[in-house]
Amino acid sequence: MTPEDRPWTAFYGPDMRIDIETASYRTIGDLVRSASDTYGKAPAFTACMPNGMNGTLTFEQVDEMSDAFAVYLREVAGLAKGDRVALQMPNGLAFPVAAFGIMKAGCVLVNVNPLYTADEMSRQFADAEPHALVIIDMFADKIPAATRGHPIPNIIVTRIAEFLPTLPRGIIGLVQKYWDRSVKPVEVPHIRFPDALAAGRTHLAQDHVEVDAYTQAVAPSDVACLQYTGGTTGVAKGAMLTHENIIMNMEQSLEMIPAIERGKEVALTALPMYHIFAFTLNLLAFYWLGGRNILIPSPRPLSNLKRAFENYKITWMSGVNTLFNGLNNELWFRDSPPKHLKLASAGGMALQAEVAKRWEEITGKPVLQGYGLTETSPVLSFNPLGKTRDGSIGVPLPSTFMCCVDDNGVPVPQGERGEIAAKGPQIMAGYWNKPEETAKVMKDGWFLTGDIGVMDADGYFSIVDRKKDMVVVSGFNVYPNEIEDCLASHPGIFESAVIGVPNEATGEAVKAFVVLTDKTLTPDQIRAYCKEHLTAYKVPKRVEIREQLPKSNVGKILRKDLRTETQHSQAAE
């Protein structure tokens, strides 16, 4: 079989397109305008606070506000087409207004993790060189240190309760200012987000600005987002995602989920929208579909989601393995699972079989696992509805090619392990200002994912593990995912992470970090359990019990942090 063969198309639905020739819209700004015109006064975004306080914006309101912000950026702040605008905030009503306004202005959105330290912000700002920053007030005290040496001329400050009704907005503001003191004075020149919108509206009215003229100058191949990789395997890099990349990936993904109905879905958005998974599938795809997005500013603790499930008829949600696992272990969720849920989709990290099984037992609905990366906008493959396979990341999307290759880039025989390579319209244009890094992952039009996988005879793919996470024990390749799956099947283990550590006898040895639900379990008992289910060289040499594991803000367990910590402790011995 050659890389151009596509046996997986036999498992596409009868109405699915095998190839998508052109995107439905030239730019994301055009998409936003069309959806806003179609759905008008229907609710588009609802921000739901942990105590149930909420606020909603309609499609019509989002369109008008984002127009005003686009005009502010171009006519007041003086930005030009292609200028970068950093957006640093959690999920809230201001996020879509700012993001869509940036796109309508013909500028490039730079998503920034709101929990970044000043040093992390500084590195990303130095690389992206944004001309403006939209930031939530809770973290604005980091700006002076983060912009030292590379100032950002336009600072726009928003707040978590922006655009909520007056009473809840006031209550939340008082709590933040006087009770938990989470908001500090902003000590740099700035403008408040509502004032920026007011200035944009003034120019719209007085100068009769044509907002659509900004996007008419934008080509589908122009960069829409600088989406920085999560940094789980090294220095973060800005993936240049074009308008065409993102719109095509949205269309490719929706082809795989025919159960979604236009104008009728209610999506729970617990994953942060600055992450590419929620950005493409929740923020953009559900806006295009006329769905209502229930925005959760922070999903931690998981009780923050309780009122959203109680108050809204959630039909769809996305998440990562740790989110689904956590909800499975919440008594309130098990006692009253969502009644209107159609399905859930998982990405970002491997979905453990035991977690998926328990989720379906509790909710009566499956978790459909997909696969992708920041560099692929993000989805490459997905399990077709009704044709899912346990442990599989599904089949490639329409217009997508995937194969497994050896270290020389040569396709391996079907059923053998190799690095997953992919090509399609969702593949990034490259890394921002890093041609050498781009050349490492782009080979003859194929993107090398860094993930080890296997393709079966039908074209279904499975992930074995990250290439860089593989542990070599006495010459045998050991994949942490396999051991973590085994640990997940133990009823007394909540979650785990596995890494390789130096060992004189075997080169490397397996070490497992576990968080327990059964506090009586000992490391020896855990190792004994593994011996019943794993080959001897895969059994963890050491087991360390932890209260919690390091995670990204999306909820992905960070093995790299555990490796770094282990290296430091060994160096100190």
Q: What is the CATH number of the domain that holds 477?
A: 3.30.300.30
Write down which residue in 195, 218, 241 finishes a domain: 218
- 61, amino acid identity: Q
Q: What is the DSSP string of 101-133?
A: HHHHTT-EEEE--TT--HHHHHHHHHHH--SEE
From the list 478, 557, 482, the residue with the least C-alpha distance to 515 is: 557
Q: What is the CATH number of the domain that holds 115?
A: 3.40.50.980
Q: Which residues of 243-260 are buried (b: 16+ CB within 10 A; e: fewer)?
A: bbbbbbbbbbbbbbbeeb
Number of independent structural domains in the chain: 2
Write down which residue in 218, 248, 282 finishes a domain: 218
Sign of the Cα torsion 548, 554, 557, 558 reads: negative
Determine, yes or no, domain membership for 382: no
Angle between helices 94-104 and 59-71 in degrees, nearest 10: 50
Structure tokens at 288: 């295009």
Determine, yes or no, domain membership for 235: no
Write down which residue in 192, 218, 244 finishes a domain: 218
Determine, yes or no, domain membership for 517: yes
Q: Which residues contact 329 (CB under 8 A, 6 or more apart)?
A: 494, 517
From the list 519, 515, 537, 540, the residue with the least C-alpha distance to 529 is: 540
Determine, yes or no, domain membership for 52: no
Determine, yes or no, domain membership for 102: yes
Full pLDDT tens readout for the chain, 573 residues: 466 689 999 999 888 999 999 999 999 999 999 999 999 999 999 999 999 999 999 999 999 999 999 999 999 999 999 999 999 999 999 999 999 999 999 999 999 988 888 888 998 999 999 999 999 999 999 999 999 988 999 999 999 999 998 888 888 888 877 777 788 888 999 999 999 999 999 999 988 889 999 999 999 999 999 999 853 334 579 999 999 999 999 999 999 988 889 999 999 999 999 989 999 999 999 999 999 999 999 998 999 999 999 999 999 999 988 899 999 999 999 999 999 999 899 987 778 889 999 999 999 999 999 999 999 999 999 999 889 898 899 999 999 999 999 989 999 999 999 999 999 999 999 999 999 999 999 999 999 999 999 999 999 999 887 878 888 887 677 888 889 989 999 999 999 999 999 888 788 899 999 999 999 999 999 999 999 998 888 999 999 999 999 998 788 899 989 998 988 777 666
Task: Judge contact between 85 and 226, C-beta under 8 A.
Answer: no
Determine, yes or no, domain membership for 162: yes
Please write down the HEC assignment for all residues of 152-193.
CCEEEEECCCCCCCHHHHHHHHHHHHHHCCCCCCCCCCCEEH
Determine, yes or no, domain membership for 312: no
Question: What domain range is 493 assigned to?
Answer: 470-572
Q: Which residues contact 564 (CB under 8 A, 6 or more apart)?
A: none
Determine, yes or no, domain membership for 364: no
Q: Which residues of 530-554 are buried (b: 16+ CB within 10 A; e: fewer)?
A: beeebeebbbbbebeeeeebbbbbb
